[in-house]
Amino acid sequence: MSRLKSWWSQSDQFDWVTTFLRQRGLIRSAQVILAIVSASAAWVPLTVLATRRPSATSAIIGVLIIVFALGSIYFWLTRWPTRRQSGVAAISGMLATGGWSLVQPSAAFAALICTALAVTGGYIALFHSPRLLMLNGLVAAATATVAVSRLAKEADLATAAAAFWLIWYPNFSVPLIIWGVSQAMATYVERAEQDPLTGLLNRRAFTEAVASRLVNHTAAHTHLAVMMLDLDDFKQINDTYGHSAGDRLLRVVAEVLREHSPPDAIVCRAGGEEFLIALTCTADGVAPLASLFCDAVARHPSGVTVSIGTASAELNLLSTADGGHLIEDLIAVADSAMYAAKRRGGNQAHQSTAS
């Protein structure tokens, strides 16, 4: 029951899957694939309208499906949807498919149409939440029940039972397989982005997270601040107490940084005994936070201290085409400021303003 509850409460996957595709240069390939899927959705209604005389209701729904499919082709080839647009498209597709099945004069053809809901189910399983997937399942169940009941009367019970299985097999297995793949992707992304010792982001994931934050930050914030933190005399700790003690200390410091960082801060282990923190803030919000980190680490019973270098830049400068390079420049400035803090004796913060 707890696993079912955990599955049901999972959030929408659209944003992280989109980020995964975009970071790996796969957005265009995904657009082309989804445009091809949309084109295939128009094929059956086009064939039916060209070769039969459907009822007025069936013809109207068929035309709407064709128009929707053609519009989807254009949309997928020209842009990537927002999460809301994607959800609306999925719901429209499932309702149109279910509705077209219900108005078919042939029970066998109506049952065949129900299998197409596996396509919307698979899309939802990859991009959206279990709740939306459940809605697709309910539409499939309702339309399949109607179609199979009609088929039992038109043919026989064995044919209806076989049709029911043929409907549910793809509608169950396709979303299940795709959902399993999406969970494997999520696990891969999480592990690929984490530092295995501390559980913080690694350096590559940090840079990507900062770039993403620049397009989605608090409206009142005007600057991006980057802090480079380095443990003082860490080599001596390793030499005296061993690397296991050093690893434990790194985990302790990581936990301290998590505990005292603002909710929207991005925290990373940059390598060795170095940590990076980035956040958007106001111009005067950097220095107090750096002092807070210094004091929090120094108060820990381990007795370790940190030297912190901070750098900040106006957000409007980082939103340009060269924003990625400017972020790296900001990290370099913070690194230099950190070494300045070390030269002054450590256990302190030194601030440098990039702009």
Pairing type for strands 349-353 and 306-314 reads parallel
Please tell me the distance from the alpha carbon of residue 170 to that of residue 155, in angstroms, as a whole number: 23
Please tell me the distance from the alpha carbon of residue 117 to that of residue 143, in angstroms, as a whole number: 10
Q: What is the crossing angle of helices 83-102 and 107-114, to 10°?
A: 160
Q: Which of 154, 193, 255, 273 is catalytic?
A: 273
Q: Is 154 a catalytic residue?
A: no
Please tell me the distance from the alpha carbon of residue 144 to that of residue 208, in angstroms, as a whole number: 45
Distance from first CA to last CA of the chain, Å, rounded?
54
Please tell me the distance from the alpha carbon of residue 267 to that of residue 231, in angstroms, as a whole number: 15
Please tell me the distance from the alpha carbon of residue 39 to that of residue 45, in angstroms, as a whole number: 11
The residues annotated with a catalytic role in the active site are 273
